[in-house]
């Protein structure tokens, strides 16, 4: 607003000039609605785990944008508002770093920071909604030194429990081959975004692809593997994670005995609406003997157990 004052024949007169700038709104169009059901997940990974870390990680865009003026910032905010109002997606960068890991906000994945309590370290909850702090680094140990040393680490206390379970099963004729334990966030990110790319290649939108990928591979920062508390287990001679594992004597032994060593079947069949993850008979999580016995006997998930259904 500009106010100018002038005098004419001894009489004061005021001139008021008002400049109003109009806002501009933009709206993006969506490529379509989410499919009614996700395609079935068959085999999650076929590579031996020692090759995972050798996989190339996608290059992240790091070019810094120049500081926007107030007008540009207002336009950007208007763009987001208009897109949200129209029910469309105003897509930001693919992965925006947060204190809890990575956010895929355009696909409605924005995990909060997981509660860290050393007294209950074994009950740490990480999933699609709760992510590890970026600074989190568990102290790990090889589960079976001299037997399976490569990429078969877990948090050191969980590793000790796995070791006891492995040798107990071996006495009963079942070998619980440790396929993949502790996983670095960089590896989790690479695995997750490779899965996104595979869905994109099938014609799904980026947001749809992220949500479909998250049903079998959790986003970086959100995996129990990164916490060192989970082990993917296979039978001898198998390098494939598939539902066929449920037909093995190893799986049957785990269902009957794993709780005695503090392990649970983390993603059971029929609980997908709770865990947000497809059935995974190979994924076993350490929670401690007390919690494991309650969870396995009741058929609950870790989420249900922690929500007070004990």
Active site residues: 280
Kindly list the distances between the CA atom of residue 102 and the CA atoms of 52, 54, 186, in Å, as whole numbers in the listed order: 20, 21, 11
Cα–Cα distance for residue pair 40/292, rounded to 1 Å: 29
Long-range Cβ pairs for the range 92-99 (8 Å, 24+): 93/61, 94/193, 94/206, 95/60, 95/189, 95/193, 95/220, 97/134, 98/131, 98/221, 99/133, 99/134
Among 305, 308, 165, 147, residue whose Cα is nearest residue 231: 165
Cα–Cα distance for residue pair 166/263, rounded to 1 Å: 12
CA angle 225–105–127, rounded 5-degree value: 25
- Three-state secondary structure call for residue 226: helix
Beta pairing class for 130-131 and 112-113? parallel
Residues 241 and 203 sit within 8 Å (Cβ to Cβ): no
Kindly list the distances between the CA atom of residue 89 and the CA atoms of 54, 106, 108, 195, 280, in Å, as whole numbers in the listed order: 34, 6, 10, 21, 31
Beta pairing class for 280-286 and 263-267? antiparallel
Q: φ, ψ for residue 144 (rounded to 5)?
A: -130, 75
Residues 280 and 268 sit within 8 Å (Cβ to Cβ): no
Cα–Cα distance for residue pair 26/115, rounded to 1 Å: 39
């Amino acid at each position: 607003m500009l106010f100018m004052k002038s005098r004419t024949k001894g009489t004061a007169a005021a001139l008021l000039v008002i400049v109003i700038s109009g806002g501009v709104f933009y709206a993006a169009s969506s490529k379509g609605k989410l499919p009614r059901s996700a395609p079935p997940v068959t085999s999650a990974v076929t590579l031996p785990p020692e090759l995972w870390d050798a996989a190339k990680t996608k290059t992240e865009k790091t070019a810094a944008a120049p500081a926007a003026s107030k007008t540009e910032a207002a336009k950007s905010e208007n763009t987001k508002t208009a897109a949200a109002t129209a029910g469309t997606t105003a897509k930001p960068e693919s992965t925006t770093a947060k204190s809890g890991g990575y956010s895929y906000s355009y696909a409605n994945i924005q995990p909060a920071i997981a509660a860290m309590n050393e007294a209950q370290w074994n009950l740490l909850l990480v999933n699609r909604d709760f992510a590890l702090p970026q600074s989190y680094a568990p102290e790990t140990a090889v589960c079976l030194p001299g037997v399976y040393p490569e990429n078969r680490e877990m948090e050191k206390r969980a590793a000790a429990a796995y070791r006891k379970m492995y040798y107990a099963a071996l006495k009963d004729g079942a070998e619980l081959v440790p396929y993949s334990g502790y996983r670095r966030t960089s590896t989790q990110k690479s695995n997750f975004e490779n899965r996104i790319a595979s869905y994109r290649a099938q014609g799904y939108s980026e947001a749809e692809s992220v949500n479909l990928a998250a049903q079998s591979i959790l986003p970086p920062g959100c995996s129990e593997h990164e916490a060192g508390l989970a082990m993917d287990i296979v039978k001898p001679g198998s390098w494939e994670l598939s539902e066929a594992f449920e037909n093995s004597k190893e799986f049957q032994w785990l269902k009957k005995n794993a709780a005695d060593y503090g392990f649970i079947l983390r993603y059971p069949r029929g609980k997908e609406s709770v865990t947000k993850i497809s059935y995974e008979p190979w994924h076993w999580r350490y929670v401690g003997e007390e919690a494991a016995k309650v969870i396995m006997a009741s058929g609950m998930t870790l989420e249900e157990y922690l929500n007070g259904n004990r």
